[in-house]
Homo-oligomer: A and B are copies of this chain.
């Protein structure tokens, strides 16, 4: 399951998609409109900025805004960033891979099954972008 943090991130992003290229948006505005705890949202947006998805402006008239075209930011990327691995097992994860101890990957039914699930999920999440959130 996606964490609340991830759900908040997507809500905030969808809000910013609708304001794309309309200047900076206050954290407080997003928090209010999307009913997200303000200080929690601060952390999330900062993280998205550090990952290069958002950018911000300080001072009066400042706020957050999308750094790139929403159609160019994949949903899979956001999930990996905020929520972690998409795969159901570490030993089938592309970005968070860990070898499976006590289990021969070449000969493990579960392993194969989870690769299938991963691929099916990625097929969708790698082909959807922030634009599709709106």
Contacts and interface: CB of A to CB of B under 8 A. Distances in A.
Interface of A: 1-2, 7, 10-11, 14, 34-35, 75, 84-85, 87-90, 102-103, 109-110, 113, 116-117, 120-121, 123-125, 128, 132-134
A128 B87 CA distance: 17
A61 B86 CA distance: 43
Contacts of A116: 124
Contact of A90 (B1, B84, B124): B1
Contact of A120 (B11, B120, B133): B120
The main secondary structure of chain A at its interface with chain B is helix
Contacts of A35: 102
- 9 residue pairs, one from A and one from B, having the closest CB atoms: A120-B120, A109-B133, A35-B102, A2-B88, A109-B132, A116-B124, A10-B110, A117-B121, A117-B124
B113 A11 contact: no
A128 to B, nearest CB: 5
B102 A34 contact: yes
A11 B103 contact: yes
A85 B123 CA distance: 21
Contact of A113 (B34, B117, B124): B124
